[in-house]
Chains A and B, each alone.
Chain A
Amino acid sequence: MEEEVSDLNKTVLFDWHRSKGAKIVPFAGYHMPVYYGNGILKEHLHTRRKVSLFDISHMGQIELKGPNVYSDFEALVPADVFDLAENHCRYTQFTNDRGGIIDDFIVTKQSDSLNLVVNAACKMKDFTHLKAHLEGSIEIEKLDNYALLALQGPQSAEVLSKFCPEIKNLAFMTKQNALIKGINANISRSGYTGEDGFEISVKNSDCLDLVDILTSEPDVEPAGLGARDTLRLEAGLCLYGNDLDESITPVEANLTWTIGKQKRLEGGFLGDDKILSQLRDGPEKKRIGICLSGKVPARSGADILDGEGSSIGTISSGGYSPTLQKPIAMGYVTLNSAKLNEKIQIIVRKKRLEATIIKTPFVEPNYYKTSKKK
């Protein structure tokens, strides 16, 4: 049943995961915990109710430096970079010349550099892409000596602020340096679960100490990649390789909100021809949210039919929602079929299952909101 792969990478927490009873699976070239003793359902619900700690050190952390780093980087992404304030983070993508998504990631502007957190499975091609477009003028550094943890859930601020009170009011999608019991940490208020939470970058050599500090808090439980996937699906967030790939544009992926105002008017990034024309004329297909009527989960690859039984698209991500206790999915359908509340059918094991197109997120997010000063 289990793949035996000896040449996989290990994060600095590999032995810790095993000591916590994790089931380890190969993922994006790494030995990663898919769940611990309690299983995905309990880890998922614990994250929604309290706070969970995820090892996401397999993700790529990259720093870009150079005199023209902001303007040079601007040409690689549909987001505006020029108006990003220092220590602010933004979700964007690398696009190819056809407007397809090479990777999706978070970029943070720092005083003289940009920090990227990219998908594990994409880090080599991202690096090649960056080198092809920026080499010479920009210094590209892989932060391989840094681990990355995600502390996620409604109690994450309460837990983390015990050690560094200054992060309590850190705004959503901003970053700051802090000391956690003497450990230097770079903390952003962000995540992939739909909950309030933090992503914490620390030196590999400090990671285990930090994990011990955080998990000594009674409400913090470890959670694996299984719960990370069900949580992000409920939050309507895309998974690269499932919901996004090099043939899908940000407009098709319903990520138009991530395209910068300036870029929409003037282009100036890879694939801008295609993306701007799709903004004007509409894309051929579009990502939708799907709620199934029965109990059978529909997984990635399942065919989608319209009410009359004609094929209109394919499921890109799907599974059981632990919060809603029913199956949910995302998929791509032709633009004229992508209507809210439209009845559709999904083919699972040759049976037609009743389903409805609904809005995402499936579960209302609980991101931190700074109270507005009047």
Chain B
Amino acid sequence: MIKYTKQHEWVAINDGDEKAAVGITDYAQKQLGDIVYVELPGIGVKVNKGDEAAVVESVKAAAEVYSPISGEILEVNENLADSPELINNEAEANGWFFKLAPSEESELEELMDKEGYDKYIGGLD
């Protein structure tokens, strides 16, 4: 299952998995342009839905990344330190930011699905 926020984050979790991966959408990376640095959260940090969990720096500007759901950070994408361009190239796959253990499964239901998100960004341009 993959869900989306209005702030252009995605969160993906497989059935039965205890980890949800979080990243920014392809739409978001296109808006930001070339990404040159990412600041990731610490392992073990507990975040609430909507908390600032990471910062992404493009050539032009810095942008906050908010956690789409609440939970404890279990893993961060170490590859982004040397290859932040992964976010430009594979935003919704290998460009993930962190994985967390969701504490409120119900929060996922409040987010948009792919169809809803595509409709949402369709109305932005």
CB closest chain-B residue, reference A325: B36
Give A100 to B24 CA distance when docked, in angstroms: 43
Task: Assess the B57–A320 pair: CB atoms within 8 A.
Answer: yes
Give the bracket for the number of chain A residues in contact with chain B. 20 to 34
Task: Assess the A1–B124 pair: CB atoms within 8 A.
Answer: yes
Task: Assess the A349–B37 pair: CB atoms within 8 A.
Answer: no
Q: Which residues of A sit under 8 angstroms from B61, Cβ to Cβ?
A: 299
**A297-B37 in contact given A1-B124, A320-B59, A322-B59 (Cβ < 8 Å):** yes
In chain A between 319 and 361, which residues have their CB closer than 8 angstroms to a CB of chain B?
319-320, 322, 327, 349
Q: Which residues of B sit under 8 angstroms from A297, Cβ to Cβ?
A: 36-37, 57, 62
Give A191 to B34 CA distance when docked, in angstroms: 24
Q: At the interface, yes or no: A81 with Cβ under 8 Å from chain B? A: no
Q: Which residues of B sit under 8 angstroms from A35, Cβ to Cβ?
A: 33
- Provide the A281-311 mask, 1 if CB < 8 A to any CB of B, else 0: 0000000000000011101000000000000
| Consensus secondary structure, chain A interface | mixed
Q: At the interface, yes or no: A39 with Cβ under 8 Å from chain B? A: yes
- Provide the B33-52 mask, 1 if CB < 8 A to any CB of A, else 0: 11011010000000000000
CB closest chain-A residue, reference B55: A349
CB closest chain-A residue, reference B121: A1
- Provide the B48-71 mask, 1 if CB < 8 A to any CB of A, else 0: 000000010101111000000000
Residue of A1, A226, A327 near B31 (CB, 8 A) is A1
Given A319-B59, A320-B57, A320-B59, 8 other A-B contacts at CB below 8 A?
A: A34-B60, A39-B88, A40-B33, A40-B34, A41-B34, A226-B60, A296-B39, A297-B57
19 A-B pairs, CB-CB below 8 angstroms? A1-B31, A2-B124, A23-B33, A34-B33, A35-B33, A39-B33, A39-B88, A40-B33, A226-B60, A295-B37, A296-B57, A297-B37, A299-B62, A319-B60, A320-B36, A320-B37, A320-B57, A320-B59, A322-B59
